[in-house]
Structure 1
């Protein structure tokens, strides 16, 4: 596959999930250099953060990157998921805050924005990561396995000890059509009992029922309900695709994840890199 970038610039403004502030986002085509986040609100020369797995940190509630000067960018996984499915390998991402806009809590709008200007091929090729023999990673009761497969397939299982949200499993062969129909619209979610803790710790200040599913003991608080009956596991697949995008290479293989999350995703990405 050829490396790709955007045909034209994109500008967007939206609310950041955790700080609740307006974020101005500008996506600028690049000829090389990979994916670079540029914090225009910080000192020039110290404000560029290369998308590199070695720059990942603090993976508790999202995928985040920082550079050697301490400049950071948070909650990038939905955006990266859209970049993966659009095969974009080279881009400058300017933003005037430390997180990406949350949009509607999914990757749907990001995909629509990228499709609105289209992509163009660059001269250089990008090498696939091909899983040629089984690999696995286990931490406690969380697992990720990689198997050979002629394509990109993800099987994901979630399991919660909750009165409403228990177990869900989904398998999907990932391509642009299946992603747009089955994955992109699935929103991030949290539990009603987490809200007070998050607010008290200055997190999710921009979270609303417009950009997240809130799970209560017998359903969801969102008045319009769910987009899919199994929207939760679909969003976990969306996150996994975005987390593995930190490698900035197409993946050929079958990935099976059980109760994984950002931290395990990134550790698995390190195995893939090797």
Structure 2
């Protein structure tokens, strides 16, 4: 699998988006800014009480919750929730370095997909940097099982996502999708796939004070065996496409793109995070290596089993 460049990228300019937070229902704004090589993706927020500026690396060690969405940092001290759709857009389009500035604790949900983030990134374009791009190459299969659900990272000469979902709801049922991740494939096959859920589940979340911003404008709603959105679904299998979009965003929290294949059955945010913990914390130094270079030439190994997040100078991984 050939990449157009083995050098890191960033945004060619700054761009902002406004929307609402899917859980708070309140206004939410995000600005994306260029960053130097080696920065990675960093969230810049303010502490809700002290007003102190905080930087949170987009990294699996910073994840604090995965039940309803993916959260990085402590929400009570400037953490950020629902990062997966933006992270998917950044990884899908090949953005290595950016500062993501937020005005509150939630990313705007937009239409429930990555489409608005893709459009914003493409409005300003990308700039190629002088530093070599680095990758996490999977060297042996790593697996996580949770009941009858499972996920694996396997060796593969490219970046492949193979996702299967299996729901009792007849309108969803069992769906499988396999995509070799490239910017073109992400744009056309995944970026417009929206989040989804049953009306009964959303009503239960409302009663608990969650999903207050959820609506037909940002979710595919299912009730009594049918899709309630007047426009229907964007694909017949939009549900598995969105699950794959989530997986791309969640696995982007590895801090580097993968050379390998991700397979999941009945997965979700929790399992997507669990496979990163398994790979980097539990599987051992022979499970992966950090390499530089294009897939079509022999990569240069720059480290073995040790993996540290890319982040702004002066920031720690804790």
State the TM-score, normalized to the length of structure 1.
Answer: 0.94
Q: C-alpha displacement at 1:203, in angstroms? A: 1.1
| Residue number in structure 2 paired with 1:39 | 45
| Structure 2 CA distance for aligned equivalents of residues 225 and 270 of structure 1 | 37
| Residue number in structure 2 paired with 1:213 | 220
Question: Which of 12, 34, 38 is the matching residue for 1:29?
Answer: 34
| Structure 1 CA distance for aligned equivalents of residues 28 and 40 of structure 2 | 22
| Residue number in structure 1 paired with 2:15 | 10
Q: Is the 8 A contact 2:140 2:155 kept in 1?
A: yes
Over residues 74-110 of structure 1, what are the superposed CA-to-partner deviations in whole Å (9 max), with x where a residue is unaligned?
0000000001012222211111111111111101111
Question: Which of 263, 267, 277 is the matching residue for 1:256?
Answer: 263
What's the C-alpha RMSD, in Å, of the aligned pairs?
1.7
Number of aligned residue pairs: give it: 274
Question: Which of 124, 129, 132 is the matching residue for 2:136?
Answer: 129
Over residues 108-154 of structure 1, what are the superposed CA-to-partner deviations in whole Å (9 max), with x where a residue is unaligned?
11111101111112232232111222221111111112222211111
| Structure 2 CA distance for aligned equivalents of residues 133 and 195 of structure 1 | 39
Is 1:112 matched up with 2:119?
A: yes
Of the structure 1 ranges 225-234 and 112-121, higher mean CA displacement relative to structure 2 is found in: 112-121
| Residue number in structure 2 paired with 1:93 | 100
| Structure 2 CA distance for aligned equivalents of residues 151 and 92 of structure 1 | 27
Structure whose alpha-carbon radius of gyration is higher: 2
Q: C-alpha displacement at 1:11, in angstroms? A: 1.5
| Structure 2 CA distance for aligned equivalents of residues 2 and 127 of structure 1 | 8
Where 1:235 maps in the other structure, the secondary structure is helix
Alignment of 1:227-242 (within 5 A): 227-242=234-249
| Residue number in structure 2 paired with 1:19 | 24
Q: C-alpha displacement at 1:40, in angstroms? A: 4.0
| Structure 2 CA distance for aligned equivalents of residues 3 and 270 of structure 1 | 25
Q: C-alpha displacement at 1:68, in angstroms? A: 10
Q: Is the 8 A contact 2:7 2:129 kept in 1?
A: yes
| Structure 2 CA distance for aligned equivalents of residues 155 and 91 of structure 1 | 28
| Residue number in structure 2 paired with 1:59 | 66
Q: C-alpha displacement at 1:197, in angstroms? A: 1.0
